[in-house]
Every structure is written in structure tokens, then in C-alpha cells.
Amino acid sequence: MSVVTKFNIDHTAIASPSGGSQLVTFVIEETNDRWPVISRLVSIRGAVDLAETFFSDEEIRTAEWLRLISTFEQGYPQPKMDWPLKQSSRELLCAKCVTYKQIAPMRVAKEPHMGKKSFMSLIWENEIFCTPEVFRGLEEIQAKGYEEWDVLIHKTGQISEKVRQLFIPAIAGLGVLVEDDLNRTTCPTCGTTKYYPHVKGAMRIKREALIPDTDFLLTNEWFGHGLLAWREILISSRIAKLILDKKWSGVRFKVVDVV
Ligand SMILES: [Zn+2]
């Protein structure tokens, strides 16, 4: 019996892109009475233990820049079988570490069921999709630095009516100040460093890395491991406030310290 079943812990299980194994994740508060036992099991079995930080609305509203993080994943990018190696939406910068440039619309298996959510992403990737209402809100405040891209239903090639991609063209300069204890891998083929997900505390970024006069940026740095690779999404304070004010869901924020 797995630990999560035994202790009756809410969890998600996702198959890895290469198949064969499952990534089981769960969130537990350090104040939970099961935490001491689980914490021991995590260390005995060498499981990855990621401390996560949640920021208050006040911290979010007063931060100059934030990371935008999807909390609503709906299905896999298509064609799923060849992900991420053979994709019309991506030009790979390196076939080994799968860093990429998006060159065409993303494809999904079917129209997503958004329910009350305004944002979504797909499993394995970090591109962000939103409802038409979000794009209207962005237009109203004259947000800068994003493009509205079609999302295609894979089998038919039809354009999704439920969501469009919030495409972010601008990439910040190098400037994320990564903590020494954040694991990383350097690609033997191209030399690109990929960092493990940054989950502890605020991400620090040098001001000189930020491009002025925009509300959206991608980090220059890559994150992920194996066949996962993404750049973090950075948004300005006014975008975070808009999302909070409108009570749009499907994303959360993490404070970025500009230094
Ligand atoms: Zn590489």
C-alpha cells in the first residue's frame, strides 16, 4: 500500500512524459498531526520534499513583480505521444534538455471544461490559457506585453472557443538569483542549466534583468528536469491586482523580490 493511501492523503498522480513511472505529489502542512511520521518516511525513502510558501493577499498586492502559477491543469498537450520531441507548436532549442521556442498554436485533445475557472494550463508544460473574459479585462487596463494566441483542438484543427493562450513574447535578461541549495542540471549537449522548481520563499531577480514598460515577462532561466522544461511567468503588480479584484481562479501568485 502506498504511503498516500495508507495515511489517506489527498494526492495527484501523473505519469511522466517518458512513461513507466508516476509522479505522486501531495501537500501537507507542517502543523498536520501526520506530518512527523510522513516526514520520516520521506527522508527514509529519499522522496523529494519540497517546502512550499504561500503568500498572503497583502503580500501579493504590495509586490512589484510576481510569478504567475497555474493551479488548474486540464489534460495533456497534443500530440501527447510525441511530447515534447515532435510538436508543431515548438521548435526545440536542444533535443536533449528540450528547451524550446513556441512557434505555432498549442494543441489540446478537446474543449476544456473550465467550470468557474478563468485560467488553465496543460500537464507537463507551463503555457497559460485563459477565458475571453480575462482578455477583455487585460484590454480594459491596457495591459502590455502579451499576445492572444489560438488554441487548437488537435483532431479537427478547430480553434477553441473556451480558451486562448496568453502568449508572452518577451524574455527577461539573466538575473534570477538562485539559492545554492536549489538542485540543477546542466545539459551535456548545449550547456543550458535547468533548475528544479523554485518553491521556497520569494524568487529573487536582479532589476537589470527586467524589461521596462511591460506587464508580462518570461524568465531567461529554465526550470524543470528530464523531459520537462519551462520558463517562469513574471507579471506586474497591476496584473496580480486585476486577477485578485476580479476573483478569477485557476492561478496563484508567488512574490518576486526585485533586488
Ligand atoms: Zn540542451
Output the pLDDT for position 20: 67
CA of 16 to the centre of ligand 1 (A): 19
Residues with Cβ–ion distance below 5 A, ligand 1: 94, 96-97, 187, 189-190, 192
Q: How confident is the model at residue 40 (pLDDT cuts 50, 70, 90)?
A: confident
Condensed to tens digits (0 to 9), the pLDDT of residues 223-238 reads 999 999 999 999 999 9
CA of 193 to the centre of ligand 1 (A): 8
Condensed to tens digits (0 to 9), the pLDDT of residues 71-114 reads 999 999 999 998 999 999 999 999 999 999 999 999 999 999 99
CA of 224 to the centre of ligand 1 (A): 12
CA of 175 to the centre of ligand 1 (A): 20
Domain spans in the chain, listed from the N-terminal domain onward: 3-45, 57-258
Condensed to tens digits (0 to 9), the pLDDT of residues 16-32 reads 776 667 777 777 777 78
CA of 101 to the centre of ligand 1 (A): 13
CA of 186 to the centre of ligand 1 (A): 8
CA of 197 to the centre of ligand 1 (A): 18
CA of 10 to the centre of ligand 1 (A): 35
Q: Please compute the mean of the pLDDT values over residues 212-222 and round it to a whole number.
A: 97
Q: How confident is the model at residue 48 (pLDDT cuts 50, 70, 90)?
A: low
CA of 220 to the centre of ligand 1 (A): 15
CA of 222 to the centre of ligand 1 (A): 11
CA of 18 to the centre of ligand 1 (A): 17
Considering only residues 25 and 150, tell me which one the structure prediction assigns the higher pLDDT.
150
SS (H, E, C) the chain: CCHHHHCCCCCEEEECCCCCCEEEECCCCCCCCCHHHHHHHHHHHCCCCCCCCCCCHHHHHHCCEEEEEECCECCCECCHHHCCCCCCCEEECCCCCCCEEECCCEEECCCCCCCCCCEEECCCCCCCEECHHHHHHHHHCCCCCCEEECEEECCCCCECCCCEEEECCCECCCCEECCCCCCEEECCCCCCEEECCCCCCCEEECHHHCCCCCCEEECCCEECCCCCCECCEEEEHHHHHHHHHHCCCCEEEEEEEEC
